[in-house]
Amino acid sequence: MIWIEPPRPRPVSRFFETRRLLSLILVAALVWSVASVDWTGGIVHSGGGNALKDFFLALFPPDLSPGFLKLALAASWQTVVHAVAGITLALIIGLPLGVLASGSLGNPGRSRLAVAATVRFVLAFMRSIHELVWAVLFVTAFGLSSLVVVLAIAIPYAGILGRIYSELLNDVPQEPLDGLRSSGASPAKVLLYGRLPMALPEMLSYGFYRFECGIRAAAIMSFVGIRGLGYEIQLSLNDLLFSQVWTLLLFLVALVLLVDYWSTRVRRSLGS
Amino acid sequence: MSQPPSTNEVGGSGASTPPNGGVRPIVDSRSIGKSFGALTALAPLDFTVGPGERVALAGPSGSGKTTLLYILAGLLQPDRGELFLDSQAVSRLRPGKELSEIVGLIQQQLDLVPQLPVVQNVLAGRLGQWGLLRSLASLVSAREREMAYNALSRLGIADKIDERTSRLSGGEQQRVAIARLMLQAPQIILADEPVSSLDPARADEILALLTDLVEDSKGAVIASLHDPELIKKYFSRVIGLREGVLQFDIPPQQLTAPVLAALYGFDRDFPNNSAL
Ligand SMILES: Nc1ncnc2c1ncn2[C@@H]1O[C@H](COP(=O)(O)OP(=O)(O)OP(=O)(O)O)[C@@H](O)[C@H]1O
Ligand SMILES: [Mg+2]
């Protein structure tokens, strides 16, 4: 080499320029969209303000009559069962697909990469369709049954779990894996003794997070007409029984908190 | 003995007579080399190691010690040359069972799975022998637990057998790695900076244990380390690497201050090298 190249800070600064430009455009779009909202009419329909007031006032007190509590409990149970079944099925499908997508099984080579790429495509397809859309599709196929909710949750969630799990399995420290390999471990044994134990704490906490999302999703399935917390909320809303709506919402919050508490307990017992 | 050491003093192609009188070498490196892109991590390297030898690898950071040990362990493929372990070409050995009977690697406290209990990390030494189902079953309920227990009690940490590995101190973890190696029982033990994070007393113990394993099995040990006193105490030979090139291959007694200074590249600042 005859001359010494001058330092080239250009690509970096250009990158930042592009980013700044993008941010500017986004901010401008936001300002424009806020400004173009017709604040005088339209957005809150007449009498909507009163309905909102009634809704919040109904929180004191929520409907705690034994009869309604029983109904709320049954609806919560329904929702939890749907979520548990959905997330369990999602795990059963997502974990093996995640392992395949991570490319950590089998000997290095083209076929392994081809399998990983194919599985990644399948996972992307599964999760690119929202659970409600899956639900609508399945209702037309199976009618209004619990199977619809379970499948509608399981398929997109398996896609998400598989994607995240394949990354977690790949992102573990490499030295312990080399240690296992030098002890004669095959890729499958490296997975069992190295990747899985090292990735497990994060896989678990992500699984719990998805379970939480699954409860919300199961509740919302009322929009396609399936019973559960969301269904009861819709009925009460239709009759403007806001104190009942609040009771049901409190049950939903309680469910999410319960899952949160459980996941903290499990993670602590794993001692991460 | 005061004559300066020459490059490639021992070694050469397989045709030459092995250093210790007709015994077949168990490590025979024939011009193995490795590059990462434009960087030559290892220049073509020729050397042999006979049974019973304890070889220290010395050299500054980035000189290629880890790269060489990874190639010797079969974890990294050389770009050129051929490596023979126990008179067999490594490229033709099946990874897994065959290779793990010949060679095993321990790294500086990094080779254990922190989340597993100690017993599982030790039993991982058997993974080359076990089938997949047995390996899986052992994760649920440890197989051959007595073997792990015996190895750990020889190392004085049998009471830690059910502890989570991440809770152990650095020195204890190093023993767990040695226990794993005892179960694997390879002929050739490779160790990458096995004592660099240990206090002097611990370092002494660990090296004694490692070199003892070799006397047991009539194999060989190749370890990278920097401390000349430890090299003199526990090794029979020292190989110097710098920028991937073999600088010397000498008995440890010849590891004098000027030799070390030249290897590590502090010749200008080194106070005692006016003789050079
Ligand atoms: N996977 C890799 N990709 C690219 N370069 C690498 C890789 N592994 C090692 N190198 C480079 O090869 C050279 C030799 O590295 P190596 O780790 O073998 O050195 P070392 O002697 O073990 O150093 P240290 O004493 O710091 O551990 C270094 O310049 C390193 O940056
Ligand atoms: Mg190194």
- At A138, which CATH number? 1.10.3720.10
Residue among A221, A79, A223, A87 at smallest CA distance from A154: A87
Angle formed by the axes of helices A66-102 and A229-238, to 10°? 130
Neighbour count for residue B89 (Cβ, 10 Å): 12
ipTM of the complex: 0.85
Question: Please, which residues have CB within 8 angstroms of residue B90's CB and are 6 or more apart in sequence?
Answer: B74, B82, B83, B84, B99
**Encoding tokens for residue B163?**
């502890």
The answer to whether residue A45 is domain-embedded is no
Q: How far apart are CA A146 and CA A148, in angstroms?
A: 5
* Distance between CA atoms of residues B241 and A107, nearest Å: 32
| DSSP H helices in B13-141 | 65-72, 97-102, 118-123, 132-140
User: Is B102 touching A (CB cutoff 8 A)?
Assistant: no
Q: How many domains does chain B have?
A: 1
Whole-number pLDDT of residue A43: 58
* pLDDT score of B106: 92
In a domain, A5, yes or no: no
φ, ψ of residue A152 to 5 degrees: the values are -65, -30
A7 inside domain:
no
Containing B217, the helix (H) or strand (E) segment is helix B200-217
Burial class of residue A78, CB neighbours in 10 A (0-12, 13-18, 19+)? buried
Cα–Cα distances in angstroms (integers) from residue A111 to residues A107, A138, A181, B77, in the given order: 9, 34, 21, 20
Q: What is the per-residue DSSP string for A40-105?
A: TTTSS-TTHHHHHHHHHHTTSS----HHHHHHHHHHHHHHHHHHHHHHHHHHHHHHHHHHHHHT-S
The whole-chain average pLDDT of chain A stands at 86
By residue range, what is the domain housing residue B70?
27-111+187-264
* A178 interaction partners in chain B (CB closer than 8 Å): 70, 73, 75, 105, 107, 111
The angle formed by the CA atoms of residues A231, A233 and A238, to the nearest 5 degrees, is 100
CA–centroid distance for A228 within its chain: 19
For the stretch A173-191, pLDDT in tens is 999 999 999 999 999 999 9
The 3-state DSSP class for residue B80 equals strand
Task: Give yes or no for B134 touching A (CB within 8 A).
Answer: no
3 state DSSP class of B194: coil
Q: Which residues of chain B have pLDDT under 50?
A: 1-18, 270, 273-276
Residue B168 lies in a domain: no
The answer as to whether A87 is a domain residue is yes
Q: Is residue A9 part of a domain?
A: no
Any domain includes B194 = yes
Domain assignment of residue B125, yes or no: no
Q: Do B105 and A182 touch (CB under 8 A)?
A: yes
The predicted structure's pLDDT at residue B163? 95
Residue B14 in domain = no
Q: Does some domain include residue A4?
A: no
- Residue A86: the pLDDT is 95
pLDDT of residue B150: 95
Q: Considering chain A, what percentage of its residues have pLDDT values greater than 70?
A: 89
Inspect the interface and report whether the beta carbons of A180 and B127 lie closer than 8 Å: yes
Instruction: Using CA coordinates, name the residue in chain A closest to B166.
Output: A272
DSSP A5: P
Give the strand pairing for B188-192 and B39-49. Answer: unpaired
Q: What is the pLDDT of residues A204-221, one digit of tens each?
A: 989 999 999 999 999 888
- Taking only the tens place, the pLDDT of each residue in A108-144 is 778 888 999 999 999 999 999 999 999 999 988 888 8
Please report whether residue A229 resides in a domain.
yes
Of A179, A185, A271, the CB nearest to B164: A271
Query: Is the sign of the CA dihedral B113, B117, B121, B123 positive or negative?
Result: negative
With a cut of 50, list the residues of chain A below it in pLDDT.
Answer: 1-12
* Domain contains B19: no
Interface test with A, best of B113, B136, B162, B178 (most A CBs within 10 A): B113
Instruction: Work out how many domains chain A is built from and give that number.
Output: 1
Q: Is residue B196 part of a domain?
A: yes
Cα B68–B71–B76 angle (5° rounding)? 125
Q: What is the pLDDT of residue A10?
A: 47
Q: State the ligand closest to the CA atom of B63.
A: 1
The helix or strand, by DSSP H or E, that contains position A176, with its residue range, turns out to be helix A174-182
Cα–Cα dist A208/A197, whole Å? 17
Closest by CA position to A71, among listed A241, A228, A181: A228
Encode pLDDT of B208-255 as tens digits.
988 888 876 678 999 999 999 999 999 999 999 999 999 999 999 999
Q: What is the CATH number of the domain that holds B208?
A: 3.40.50.300
- The reported pLDDT for the residue numbered A39 is 65
Reduce the DSSP state of residue B113 to 3 states and report it: coil
